[in-house]
Amino acid sequence: MSFRDTLRERALALLGVSAYAPPPSNSNGPQLDDESVIRIRESQGGNLQAPPTTKLRWYLADLERAQASADTGNLTAAAQLYRAMRRDGTLAGLLGTRTSGLVRLPKRFYGNADMAAVLRARNGTRSVFDDMFPPSELALLAADGIMLGVGVAELVPVPGRDFPVMVRLDPQYLQYRWSESRWYFLSIAGAIPITPGDGRWILHTPGGRMSPWNSGMWPACGRSFINKEHAMLHRSNFSAKLANPARAAVSPIGATEPQRVGFIKALIAWGVNTVFELPVGWDVKIIESNGRGYEVFEAEIKTSDEEYMIALAGQLVTTTGGTGFANADIHKSIRSDLIEDTGEGLAYTLNTQGIPPFVATRWGVDALAEAPIVEWDTSTPKDMATQAASLTAAAGAITALDAALAPHERKLNVDEIVVRFDIPVAGDEDGDGVPEAAREAATRGQLQEAA
What is the SS3 string spanning 136-168? HHHHHHHHHHHHHCCEEEEEECCCCCCCCEEEE
Here the contacts of 290-299 (C-beta below 8 Å, separation 24 or greater) are 291/242, 293/238, 294/235, 294/238, 294/239, 297/231, 297/232, 297/234, 297/235, 297/238, 298/235
Q: 343, 374 in Cβ contact below 8 A?
A: no
Question: Rounded mean pLDDT of 91-117?
Answer: 87
- Strands (E) across 165-324 are located at 165-169, 174-177, 182-187, 190-193, 201-204, 246-250, 283-287
- Specify which residues 184 forms β-bridges with: 175, 193
Higher pLDDT pick, 42 / 16 = 42
Q: Where is mean pLDDT largest: 149-163, 231-245, 387-401, 423-437? A: 149-163
In sequence order, what are the residues at sequence separation of 6 or more whose Cβ sits closer than 8 angstroms to the Cβ of residue 172? 52, 53, 75, 76, 79, 80, 83
The Cβ of residue 340 has, within 10 Å, a number of other Cβ atoms equal to 15
Least reliable range by pLDDT among 11-20, 226-235, 246-255? 11-20
Higher pLDDT pick, 301 / 421 = 301
| pLDDT (tens digit per residue) in 143-179 | 999 999 999 999 999 988 888 999 999 999 999 999 8
Q: 173, 185 in Cβ contact below 8 A?
A: yes
Instruction: Give the C-alpha separation, 394 to 412, whole Å.
Output: 13
State residue 252's pLDDT score. 81
Instruction: Give the C-alpha separation, 375 to 371, whole Å.
Output: 14
Instruction: Give the C-alpha separation, 244 to 133, whole Å.
Output: 55
b/e map of 266-297 (b: 16 or more CB within 10 Å)?
A: eeeeeeeeeeeeeeeebeeeeeeeeeeebeeb
Element (H, E) at 103: helix 89-103
Question: Rounded mean pLDDT of 369-376?
Answer: 89
Q: Is the pLDDT of residue 96 over 60?
A: yes
In sequence order, what are the residues at sequence separation of 6 or more whose Cβ sits closer than 8 angstroms to the Cβ of residue 369? none
Least reliable range by pLDDT among 75-89, 101-115, 123-137, 253-267? 253-267
Tell me the average pLDDT of the chain.
Answer: 80
Q: What is the DSSP string of 217-241?
A: SHHHHHHHHHHHHHHHHHHHHHHHH
In sequence order, what are the residues at sequence separation of 6 or more whose Cβ sits closer than 8 angstroms to the Cβ of residue 3? 360, 365
* Residue type at 173 in one-letter notation: Y
Question: Rounded mean pLDDT of 3-14?
Answer: 65
Q: How far is CA 359 from CA 132, 354, 362, in A?
A: 12, 9, 5
State residue 298's pLDDT score. 84
Here the contacts of 25-29 (C-beta below 8 Å, separation 24 or greater) are 25/193, 28/180, 28/182, 28/193, 29/184, 29/190, 29/191, 29/192, 29/193
The pLDDT > 90 percentage for the chain reads 29
The Cβ of residue 322 has, within 10 Å, a number of other Cβ atoms equal to 15
State residue 123's pLDDT score. 66
**Residue among 64, 58, 135 at smallest CA distance from 96:** 135
Higher pLDDT pick, 296 / 385 = 296
Question: Rounded mean pLDDT of 24-35?
Answer: 72
Element (H, E) at 313: none
Q: 334, 308 in Cβ contact below 8 A?
A: no
Question: Rounded mean pLDDT of 227-244?
Answer: 80
State residue 69's pLDDT score. 95
- Taking the model in full, what pTM does it have? 0.74
DSSP state of 211: S
Instruction: Give the C-alpha separation, 183 to 173, whole Å.
Output: 10
3-state secondary structure of 110: strand
Q: Where is mean pLDDT largest: 175-184, 252-261, 264-273, 419-428? A: 175-184
